[in-house]
Structure formats: structure tokens, C-alpha cells
Structure 1
Amino acid sequence: MKYRTKEAIVGYLFSLPVILTVLVFTIYPIIAAFYYSLTDYQPLEARKFTYVFNPYDALEIHTGVLREEAKSYSVDELLNYFDPVTFVEIDVGVKLSDEEKELIKKNLDSLNLLADYREGRLPKEIKISDFMRRYMRNDSNRFTRYRPKFVGIQNFKDMFKDMYFYTSFWNAFLYSIIVVPIQTLLAIILAVAANSKIRGVNFFKSVFFLPAITSSAALSMIFWLIYSKPGILNKILLSLFGRFKFEPIDYLNEPNIALFAIMAMNIWSTAGYFMVTFLAGLQDIPSSIYEAAKIDGANGWQTFWKITVPLLRPQIVFVSIMGTIGCMQVFDQIYFLIRNLRNITISFYIYKNAFEYGKMGYASALAVVLFAVILTLSLIQRKVIKEEY
């Protein structure tokens, strides 16, 4: 074997854990989301054939004939009390489509099942898939694994008739166009401050970055205490403007204010994180450029806008794209703090459809649209904000 081939094999073997991780946790979920967006996948039904049940109990309830008394009946007599579709759907507990009901009527071996019940040959417990495999004459594979129905682009058609899709999408877009520019500019200002040679600068760096490493749940609870009606913010405003008959505001339950309150929280908590990116960029700018500007008579404001900001363009592109992705996908603060559907974002609406409404197919279609929008916005940002000045 050639040396270069050996080297390639060894390289791939070393990188195999990373490749497998990316395939399993990134590539496969993306492909699955695209597939499920074209189906009526319902997570509550996905495990319906994996549950275990007691066939004796189910048949006793269905036929009204106790296990101990079954031998005194012939199979034909037991058959008079037995309806296969009702038994599977009601007593076994499997929700059936119209097509599955027809298959049960045609193919369930009722005589063999009742004979085993009469003779006591049934197991005490059996998985539904194994039961169907055992007593279905044909098409048993339809009842051993859940297969969502393919609906094509129906989920996407339903989406554009859904009022909450428009509301949640607009909220996420509004969130992005307000938060991203402000947090980017604030991060640059913090980076410039942290890069200056003043006493205690390391302490300020730590303080600025602290919100970025604090748990989102903990931050949400802190801001809940700040924003609630008897909270800190209302107490401060009451002490300042109480003489003007200031009325406390419930910021998180007021639809016209709630989303903007979350925006303020997000700007405060993420600006320090992006500050580090700009700080790295600032330290790569040669000091000779600033010295030349100073000799030419440029003041601090001119230096900032004419030198610092243009030379930070690569970092601005990165921060604006990452900020847009984060804002369009904002979920945790909305989940913890928002209680009305007028202020939800698209990520939270995807969660509600998938895990509360049991509509995973529709949620996947929403996720696909969100993916397409984020990709488009990222490409536009790369086109509009040139990395090179």
C-alpha cells in the first residue's frame, strides 16, 4: 500500500469519531426533518406497536367470558362475542386508520386467537407487534412498525393558512432586526473598552462576559423577578415617577411590551459573548495605524468609525450571521417567560406543534421553512457586508 494511501486511512480513522458524531447528530436529523415534513408523523403514535399488554385481560374484557370459564364455550360460541377491529382498537389500545381496520377485518386469525385463549396457550404478556405478527395471516408488517402517511406538500399548504405561523415568524424576524444590530454595536463598544489600557480592565472583561456563561434558565428567572409586576424595575420606576401617578406594568404579560422586554434581556446577555470576537479582531489591528491617524489629527470618534469599524468587518460579518441565526432560533427565553401566543417565536411554535400538539410532520415543515429563511438571510448578509474593506 502506498504511503499516501496509508496516511489518508490513518487520518480518516482518527477523525472517524467526529465524522460519526456529525452524521448521527447533525446530518441525519436534517435529512429526517425534510422527510417528516412530507408526512403526517405523530410522535404519540410512533410507539403504539411497542407497548406490552396482557391478552387474557383484553379478551376477558372484550368477550365478557372469564379465562376460567372459556373452556366451557366452543370457539364458534366465543366468536359470536368477538369483533376483531373493536378488540384491537379498544381493548388492545391501537389507534387504527380506515385502511388498517380493513386489514384487521380480513386478516386477523380470530379462530386461532380464540382457540389459544380457550386452551390457555396465550402468553401472560406480549408486545403488540409480536401479537400482530403471530395472529395476522397477511400484512402483519403493517402492524409491527409505525409508518407515517406520506402527504406531500400538504403541511406547507396548511402552514400558509395558519395565523400563528405568520405571527411567530414575524416575531422572530422583528426580534432579529432589532437585536442583531444593537448587540453587534454594543459588543464592539465593549471590546474597545476592554482593549483600552486602563486600570482594572481584566475585571471589566470578566463582568462583561459573565452573562454569556450564565445558565439561560437562571438568567430568565432573574429577569422574571425584574420584569414582574411587583418586580425590581417597577419599584425603581415607582420611586422615580410615583408622583406622576405611575402604574406598575406587567412587562411579560403585556403583548405590546413582552417581546421587547425579552429583546433587552438578550442584548444584555449576548453582547459580552460577541465582545470576545471583536476583542480578538482589535488585537490584530497594528497600533501604527492608530498612531498615524493621531498624527493626522483624527479624534477618537473619527478613529472609531474610519479605522476600527472597517478593519473589524470580518468579525462583523461573523457576529451578524451568528446573531441572526441565534435570534431566528430563539427559544429558551420565550419558553421560560412568555405566556401568550401573540409573542411566541417560530422555534417555540415548532416545539408546541411537535411536543404539545403531537404534529411532528407539521413541526418539521416549519423547521424546513425556518432553515431556508436562515440560510437566505445568511447569504444576503455575506453579500451585503463585504469582509474586505
Structure 2
Amino acid sequence: MKYRTKEALVGYLFATPIILTVLIFTIYPIIAAFYYSLTDYQPLEARKFTYTFDPYDALELHTGVLKEEAKDYTVDELKEYFDPVTFVELDVGVKLSEEEKKIVKDYFDSLNLLNDFKEGKLPKQIKISDFMKKYMKGHSERFTKYVPRFVGLQNFKEMFKDMYFYTSFWNALLYSIIVVPIQTLLAIILAVAANSKIRGVNFFKSVFFLPAITSSAALSMIFWLIYSKPGVLNKILLALFGRLGFQPVDYLNEPKVALFAIMAMNIWSTAGYFMVTFLAGLQDIPSSIYEAARIDGATGTQIFWKITIPLLRPQIVFVSIMGTIGCMQVFDQIYFLIRNLRNITISYYIYKNAFEYGKMGYASALAVVLFAVILALSLIQRKVIKEEY
């Protein structure tokens, strides 16, 4: 074996854990989301064949014949009280489509089941998949493993008739339009301040970056205390403007201001994180450029807008794209603090459809649209904001 081949094999061997991790936790979920967006996948239905039930209780309830009395009946007599479709759907607990009802009606082994019931051969507990496999006469494939129904583009058609889709999408877009420019500019200003040669600058760097390493849940609870009606913000405003007629505002439950309150929190908590990126960029700018500008009589404002900003373009592109992705996907603050559907974002609406409404297929379609929008916005930003001056 050649040296380069051996080297490649060893490299791939060492990289195998991370490659598998990316495939399992990144690539597969993306492919699955695209697939499920074309189906009516429902999480609750996916587990229906894994549940267990007592077949004696189910048959007693369905036929009205007790387990102890069944031996006194013939199988034909028991069959008069038995309907396989109703039994499977209502007593076993498997929701059937019209096609599945026909299959159950034609192929369910009623005689074998009733004979086992009469002779006491049924188990006390049995998994639904095992039960259907035993009594479906070789047609059990559809009743042992959940397979979502393929619906094509139906989820996408439904989406564009959904009022909450438009509301949540607009909220996420508005959130990005307002938060990204402000947090980017604020991060640049913080980076310039942190790059200054003044006493205590390391302390200020730590203070600016502190929100970035604080739990989002903890930050949300702190801002809930600030924004609530009897909270800190209202107490300060009452002390300042109470005589002018100011009345406390419930910022998080007032639809007109709730989203903007979350925006202010997000700007404060993320500007310090992006400051580090700009700080690294500032330290790569030669000091001779600033010295030459000052010699030519440039003011501090002119230096900032004509030298610092243009030379930070690669960092600005990176921060704006990452900020847009984060804002379009904002979820945790909305989940913790927002209680009305008028202020939800698209990520939170995806969560509600998937885990509260049980519409995983529809949620996947929403996720695919969000993916397409974020990709388009990222490409547009790269095109509009040139990395080179």
C-alpha cells in the first residue's frame, strides 16, 4: 500500500467519529425533514403500534361476553357480536384509514381470535404490533410499523392558507430586520471601546461578553422580572414619570410591544458575543493606517466610518449572516416569555405544530420553508455586502 493511501486511511479513521456525528445528527435530520414535509407524519400515531393492551378486556368490552362465560359459547355465536374493524379501531385503539379498514375487514382472522378467547389462550398483555401480526393472515405489514402517508405538496398548500404562518414569518423577519443591524453596530462600537488602550479595559471586555455565556433561560427569567407589570422597569418609569400620568405596562402580554421588548433583550445579550469577532478584526488592522489618517487631519468619526468599517467588512458579512440565521430561528426567548400567538416567531410555530398539535409533517414543511428563506437571505447578504472594500 502506498504511503499517501495509508496516510488517507489513517486520517479518515481518526475523523470517523466526527463524520458519523455529523451524518447522524446533522445530515440525517435535514433529509428526514424534507421527507416528512411531503407526508402527514404524526408523532402520536407513530407510537400507536408499540403500546400494549389486555386482549381479554378488549374482547369483553366489545362482545359483552365475560372471559369466564366465553367457554359456554360457540365460535359462531361469538362471531355474531364481533366486528373486526370496530374492534381494532375502538377497542384495540388503532386509528384506521379507509383503505386499512377494508384490509382489516377482508383479512382479519376473527375465528382464530375468538377461538383463543373461548379457550383462554390469549396473553394478559400483548403489544399491538404483535397482536396484529398474529391475526392479520399475512397482511400485517401496515399494522406493525407506522408509515406516514405521502401527501406530496399538500402541507405547503395548507401553509399558504394559514394565518399564523404569515404572522409568525413576518414576526421573525421583522425581528431580523431590526435586531441584526443594531446588534452589529453595537458590537462594533463595543469592540472599538474594548480595543482602546485605557485602564481596566479587560474588565469591560468581561462585562460586555458576560451575557453571551449566561444561560438563555436565566436571562429570560431576569428579563421577565424586569418586564412584568410590577417589575423593575415599571418601577423606575413610575418614579420618573408617575406625576406625568405614566401607567405601568405589561410589556410581555401587550401584543404591540412584546416582540420589541424581546428584541431589546436579544440585542443586549448578543452584542457582546459578536464583539469578540470584531475585536479580532480590529487587532488585524495595522496601526500605521490610523496614524496616517490622523496626520492627514481625519477626525475620530471619519476614521471610524472611512477606515474602521470598510476594513471590518469580512467580519460584518460573517456577523450579519450569523445574526440573521439566529434571529430567523429565535425560539427560546419566545418560548419562555411570549404567551400570545400574535407575537410568535416561525421557529416557535414549528415547535407548536410538531409537539403540541401533533402535526409533524406540517411542521417539517414549515422548517423546509424557513431553511429556504435563511439560505436565500444569506446568499443575498453575501452578494450585497462585499467582503473586499
In which range does the TM-score fall when normalised by the shorter chain? over 0.9
| 3-state SS of paired residue (1:333) | helix
* Corresponding residue for residue 366 of structure 1: 366
Instruction: State the distance in 2 between where 1:12 and 1:364 align.
Output: 33
| 3-state SS of paired residue (2:176) | helix
| 3-state SS of paired residue (1:257) | helix
* Corresponding residue for residue 206 of structure 1: 206
Instruction: State the distance in 1 between where 2:230 and 2:140 align.
Output: 61
Instruction: State the distance in 1 between where 2:250 and 2:72 align.
Output: 71
Instruction: State the distance in 1 between where 2:70 and 2:3 align.
Output: 76
Answer with 311-320 or 84-93: which moved more.
84-93
Cα offsets for 1:60-110 (capped at 9, x unmatched): 221122212211111111111111111111111111111111111111100
Cα offsets for 1:258-298 (capped at 9, x unmatched): 11000000000000000000011111111111111121111
* Corresponding residue for residue 117 of structure 1: 117
Please tell me the residue identity of whatever aligns with 1:368: V
Instruction: State the distance in 1 between where 2:11 and 2:126 align.
Output: 48
* Corresponding residue for residue 132 of structure 1: 132
Q: Which runs of 5+ in 1 are unaligned?
A: none
Counterpart mapping for 1:105-254 below 5 A:
105-254=105-254
| 3-state SS of paired residue (2:48) | coil
| 3-state SS of paired residue (1:116) | helix
Please tell me the residue identity of whatever aligns with 2:62: H
| 3-state SS of paired residue (2:199) | coil
| 3-state SS of paired residue (2:50) | coil
* Corresponding residue for residue 302 of structure 2: 302
Counterpart mapping for 1:54-133 below 5 A:
54-133=54-133
Please tell me the residue identity of whatever aligns with 2:179: V
Please tell me the residue identity of whatever aligns with 1:11: G
* Corresponding residue for residue 321 of structure 1: 321
| 3-state SS of paired residue (1:197) | coil
Instruction: State the distance in 1 between where 2:327 and 2:135 align.
Output: 53
Structure 1 residue 162, shift from structure 2 partner: 0.7
Cα offsets for 1:316-367 (capped at 9, x unmatched): 0000000000000001111111111111110011111111111111111110
Structure 1 residue 138, shift from structure 2 partner: 3.5
Instruction: State the distance in 1 between where 2:91 and 2:154 align.
Output: 33
Structure 1 residue 182, shift from structure 2 partner: 0.2
* Corresponding residue for residue 289 of structure 1: 289
Answer with 30-39 or 77-86: which moved more.
77-86
* Corresponding residue for residue 276 of structure 2: 276
Please tell me the residue identity of whatever aligns with 1:89: E
Cα offsets for 1:161-182 (capped at 9, x unmatched): 1111111100000000100000
Counterpart mapping for 1:33-72 below 5 A:
33-72=33-72
| 3-state SS of paired residue (2:255) | coil
Instruction: State the distance in 2 between where 1:67 and 1:167 align.
Output: 56
Cα offsets for 1:14-39 (capped at 9, x unmatched): 11111111111111010010011111
Q: TM-score, normalised by structure 1?
A: 0.99
* Corresponding residue for residue 354 of structure 1: 354
Answer with 376-385 or 300-309: which moved more.
300-309
Structure 1 residue 370, shift from structure 2 partner: 0.4
* Corresponding residue for residue 388 of structure 2: 388
Please tell me the residue identity of whatever aligns with 2:147: R
Instruction: State the distance in 1 between where 2:338 and 2:319 align.
Output: 26
Instruction: State the distance in 1 between where 2:8 and 2:125 align.
Output: 53
Instruction: State the distance in 2 between where 1:139 and 1:147 align.
Output: 15
Structure 1 residue 193, shift from structure 2 partner: 0.5
Instruction: State the distance in 2 between where 1:361 and 1:162 align.
Output: 15
Runs of 4+ residues over 3 Å off in structure 1: none
Please tell me the residue identity of whatever aligns with 1:299: T
* Corresponding residue for residue 14 of structure 1: 14
Q: TM-score, normalised by structure 2?
A: 0.99
Counterpart mapping for 1:260-271 below 5 A:
260-271=260-271
| 3-state SS of paired residue (2:165) | helix
Q: Percent identity?
A: 86
Instruction: State the distance in 1 between where 2:278 and 2:225 align.
Output: 32
The alignment yields a C-alpha RMSD, in angstroms, of 0.8
Instruction: State the distance in 2 between where 1:123 and 1:158 align.
Output: 44
Instruction: State the distance in 2 between where 1:303 and 1:139 align.
Output: 77
| 3-state SS of paired residue (1:44) | helix
